[in-house]
Amino acid sequence: MARRPLVVGNWKMNGTRASSQKLVADILAGLPGNSPVEVGVCPPAVFIPEIAQSLAGKSVRLGAQNVADQDEGAYTGEVSAPMLREFNVSLAIVGHSERRALYGETDALVASRYAKAIGHGLTPILCVGETLEERESDATFAVIDKQLGAVLDLSGVESLKQAVIAYEPVWAIGTGRTASTEQAQEVHGYIRGKIAALNAEVADGLQILYGGSVKPDNAVALFGQPDVDGGLIGGASLDAKSFLAICLSA
């Protein structure tokens, strides 16, 4: 099956109301009409309502950087899937390594967030990836198994029909040190193989994105790998020109 490439910008905690509006306008202006590549942006939550207006009727998908593991109630600081749905949000990153490392999110919590996204019709972008220490101690696949396993145990392999996986080696995020094409393909192939052992059809249709210092000059080679179906872009997604160049590489 030919999988449609997907490129998503994760703006993280950057920008202002004005700069985020300009960024999205520049992206819309620069994307070709019937782009074969699916494109998404994940602004800071507070900018979502305005960006949703700019994206109304457009093909660029709107995403959130996280989603609550509950629908409503006394969960200070969280934003739920039903709230996001009110603003036409269709993607939600879960398990980003910054959430795991800086805010203590466990595999179990990430799996619950993922399940809520699925339950409310959002497409979760499940981030997985190892630290440098884990890679150097040959634990990469074990880490992926554990991170993916928590989600599969709770939501089942069929849920991946409605999800995207992003392989983001922690040591490549924001460091300028990208995984080599071989390193990326090796892990992407491993993930697809693992899913295929459970359900070949789901594995075949699953978009697996690479994230970690993707730039216009390395995107073509990374996206050219057989199991790399696009990217989750941090720093380079804050500049419309770079982001568009990456989108056109997919």
Nearest one of 219, 221, 235 to 98, comparing CA atoms: 235
In the complex with ligand 13P, the residue whose CB is nearer, 202 or 222, is 222
> Closest distance between ligand 13P and the C-beta of residue 232, in Å?
4
Q: For binding to ligand 13P (CB under 6 A), which residues are involved?
A: 10, 96, 168, 173-174, 211-214, 232-236
> Closest distance between ligand 13P and the C-beta of residue 167, in Å?
11
Give the HSE-up count for residue 61: Cα atoms under 13 Å, Cβ half-sphere. 22
d(CA 127, CA 65): 11
In the complex with ligand 13P, the residue whose CB is nearer, 41 or 68, is 41
Return the H-helix or E-strand segment holding 7.
strand 6-10
In the complex with ligand 13P, the residue whose CB is nearer, 61 or 96, is 96
Exactly one of 38, 96, 130, 188 is catalytic; name it: 96
d(CA 207, CA 170): 20
C-alpha dist (Å) from residue 154 to 30, 32, 36, 225: 40, 39, 33, 30
> Closest distance between ligand 13P and the C-beta of residue 12, in Å?
7
In the complex, residue closest to ligand 13P by CB: 234
Respond yes or no: is residue 96 known to be catalytic: yes
Respond yes or no: is residue 168 known to be catalytic: yes
Exactly one of 98, 134, 168, 188 is catalytic; name it: 168
In the complex with ligand 13P, the residue whose CB is nearer, 114 or 157, is 114
> Closest distance between ligand 13P and the C-beta of residue 29, in Å?
22
Question: Residue 120, exposed/middle/buried by CB under 10 A (0-12, 13-18, 19+)?
Answer: middle
> Closest distance between ligand 13P and the C-beta of residue 96, in Å?
6
CB atoms within 10 A of CB 132: 13
CB atoms within 10 A of CB 69: 21
Q: Are strands 164-167 and 91-94 parallel, antiparallel or unpaired?
A: unpaired
In the complex with ligand 13P, the residue whose CB is nearer, 196 or 245, is 245
Positions marked catalytic: 96, 168
